[in-house]
Structure 1
Amino acid sequence: MKKAILIFGLVSLTVLVSAFRSDATKAPANKENCYRTNEFSTVLTLEESIKFSEVPFIGNSFIGFREAVGFKESRNRYHIVNKFGYLGKYQFGKSTLKRLKIYNVENFLKNPETQEKAFKALCSLNKHILRKDIKRSVGKTINGIEITESGILAAAHLSGAGNVKKYLRSNGGNNLSDAFGSSIEYYMTKFSGFDVSWIDADKNPVV
């Protein structure tokens, strides 16, 4: 009887350990953690992420905002192009890069520092374009969403400043989504509450 109990215990323990290992190797069920992982292959190292930080990474700082947007767009990978042709860590379109006077796509993909400068420049440009809407709308609630400056800038990165302007001026009636289903309101919510106050509004930002 003692031997039977011992054997049963060992078998049960083996099954339990195997189940634990199986669960640990499963892909995460959370959609956010799986975002676009099938489209990208280059992994950003921690050293790369820190190298181009202008201030220490703090949760609600601009660097926190930058890294959160980068993770959402590409899981913070610099050297990738998605199936629609959007480029790099922040998934820039070629027309946006041209507006920032960046014409060499290959060099852009190989240069993380240029990508970080381009993101900051685009934030400055969008802040200039949306300066009146930021002043009028921050602090208000639209469709249950508290409007913040960082939410506005993130939504502008997603859909363009013009579409964010339409959203705000229509009181939430123009809630555009991208090809992956991410909407202006989703970005407004996801990226709210970051401190982007030190980004200057600039009509002609320099990369």
Structure 2
Amino acid sequence: MKKKIAKFSVLPVLGASIFFYSFSTKKALEAEERLAAEFSTANEVLDFTVPEAPQFDIFEPTDRYYPELGKSYLAFKEALGFKESGGDYKIINEFGYMGKYQFGKGTLRLIGIRDVNLFLERPDLQEAAFYANASRNKWILRRDIARFQDKVINGIKITESGILAAAHLAGPGNVKKYLRSWGANGFNDGFGTSIKYYIKRFAGYDTSFVVPDRKAKAKIKTPSAV
């Protein structure tokens, strides 16, 4: 008998719980509906203006962009050195051309350099070699520079810096042939790079810093003995 009383005494409690839960749920739903009606945006015109994000120009660096050097001689030689080797003083290509400006042994001998190992180890010697070679080429091509500067050959305006760059690529003799044939006699190096391309690629730099010198030699300062 006690067991039955215990069994059925749970029912009132359970019923009360169900009633309370239903009542609470109903109240919660009513409150939610009231808030939804209060803050409803139905029948309202919504017009929001979101400010556009600021736009910036994208800077895409190229091997022709020298914001601090402009079109100076320094910019000229750095652009040429980057094109030749990526600016690597120690590189030797598959044809045996060496250093930042890709000199051959024959050209180095012409400007007084015979120790190629020293040449590869000394960036200052390579810079001196570049100037000496440009100086020598400018003397050899001085008349052609005066004659053809600002002329147009194969659609390309001729400039002194373009001529000197082409002479670095192909030698002054081949540049003479190209200019004096008005572009009929071309030249391509082992990689297919042409005189025409270098004349265009390196046009417009100020190379007045280079003094023409038929006997130009690469000279560097040797530290004095202590």
Opposite residue 137 of structure 2, the aligned amino acid is N
Give CA deviations for 1:104-139 in whole Å, capped at 9, x if unaligned.
Answer: 000000000000000000000000000000000001
* Unaligned runs of at least 5 residues, structure 2: 1-61, 219-226
1:59 maps to which residue?
70
Secondary structure of the 2:77 match is: helix
Question: Aligned partners of 1:59 and 1:95: how far apart in 2?
Answer: 32
Give CA deviations for 1:30-54 in whole Å, capped at 9, x if unaligned.
Answer: xx98xxxxxxxxxxxxxxxxxxxxx
Give CA deviations for 1:58-96 in whole Å, capped at 9, x if unaligned.
Answer: 120000000000000000000110010000000000000
Secondary structure of the 1:117 match is: helix
Q: Pairwise CA RMSD of aligned residues?
A: 1.5
Give CA deviations for 1:152-206 in whole Å, capped at 9, x if unaligned.
Answer: 0000000000000000000001110111111000000000000001211000113
Higher relative helix content? 1
Q: Does 1:118 align with 2:129?
A: yes
2:88 maps to which residue?
77
2:10 maps to which residue?
none
Secondary structure of the 1:178 match is: coil
Match of 2:138 among 109, 114, 127: 127
Alignment map for 1:1-207 (pairs within 5 Å):
58-207=69-218
Question: Aligned partners of 1:86 and 1:157: how far apart in 2?
Answer: 12
Q: Percent identity?
A: 56
Opposite residue 133 of structure 1, the aligned amino acid is D
Secondary structure of the 1:133 match is: helix
Secondary structure of the 1:196 match is: coil
Question: Aligned partners of 2:153 and 2:91: how far apart in 1?
Answer: 35
TM-score (norm 2): 0.66
How many residue pairs are counted as aligned between the two chains? 154
Question: Aligned partners of 1:143 and 1:102: how far apart in 2?
Answer: 36
Opposite residue 210 of structure 2, the aligned amino acid is I
1:4 maps to which residue?
none
Where in structure 1 do 4 or more consecutive aligned residues deviate above 4 Å? none
Question: Aligned partners of 2:190 and 2:174: how far apart in 1?
Answer: 15
Give 1:145 shift. 0.4
* Unaligned runs of at least 5 residues, structure 1: 1-31, 34-56
Higher radius of gyration, 1 or 2:
2
Secondary structure of the 2:89 match is: coil
